[in-house]
Amino acid sequence: MPDWKKLVRKRLFKLGLASSTTEEVIAELAFHLEETYQHAVTNGLTQRPAIKIALQEVGDWHVLATEVERARTEESCMNYRTKSLWLPALITLFGASISLAATQFIGLQPRLVWFAGMGMTFYWPWLASLPVFGAVGAYMSRRAAGQTPMRLAAGLSPAIVMLIVMLLILPWGLFLDGFHFFRLVRFGLGLINWVGIPAASLLLGSLPFLRGNNRTAEMNR
């Protein structure tokens, strides 16, 4: 059995790529060659012709090494975003949603505040719980070496999702009901009620975890 890693490293060294190519890339290329070699042997070829076929499969070593390195880098970036943004944001959103559902389930009534003849509802127990979830999201993002914008987005994710939903609803509502000034005022109050105030509560919990050295985040990427 050929030592494919040694063979790949030797070929890349001749092209001047070995110093910039990681061991993971070398292992990936070696695995590709070994698969081709094993397939050729299974089809009845002896060792020398099987090795020749495997090497012919590579074609351009420079292009292959570049493609493998690019794929691995993209995968690394995807894992980084998942751990530092999407997962913390999802947990924060889920926690805030469960808290609101629990508040409604146990029968806690919202405080109704009237403004210009229009009512705004405030679930004070729910709003009081949001700093905890904002802190959890920002902390998880910071622990995964997320940069400050990622930590902020993770901590404010429930308010961001609600903002997106409301911005999608507004054009549809105007299309169905027609343009009306008081509808816009009501929409503005809804933004304050369900986006602005919750965002402030989430930010309160996120703030302690927004600080940190972003160089660490870059190194961990």
User: Residue 206 has what pLDDT?
Assistant: 95
User: Residue 193 has what pLDDT?
Assistant: 86
Query: What pTM value is reported for the model?
Result: 0.60
Phi/psi of residue 20, nearest 5 degrees? -100, 0
Low-confidence ranges of the chain (pLDDT < 70): 1, 12-22, 57-78, 112, 114-120, 173-182, 213-221
User: Residue 197 has what pLDDT?
Assistant: 92
Q: Which residue in the block uniquely carries the two structure tokens 């495997």? A: 54
Q: Which residue in the block uniquely carries the two structure tokens 């939903």? A: 165
Alpha helices in 43-60 (DSSP H): 47-58
Q: What is the pLDDT of residues 146-197, one digit of tens each?
A: 899 999 999 999 999 999 998 888 777 666 666 666 677 777 888 888 899 9
C-alpha to C-alpha distance for 153 and 73, rounded to whole angstroms: 23
User: Residue 7 has what pLDDT?
Assistant: 78
Greatest extent of the chain over all pairs of C-alpha atoms, in Å: 88
User: Residue 16 has what pLDDT?
Assistant: 58
How do the domains of the chain map onto residue ranges? 4-59, 82-220
Sign for the CA dihedral angle at 157, 162, 168, 170 comes to negative
User: Residue 170 has what pLDDT?
Assistant: 76
SS3 of 154, please? helix
User: Residue 215 has what pLDDT?
Assistant: 44
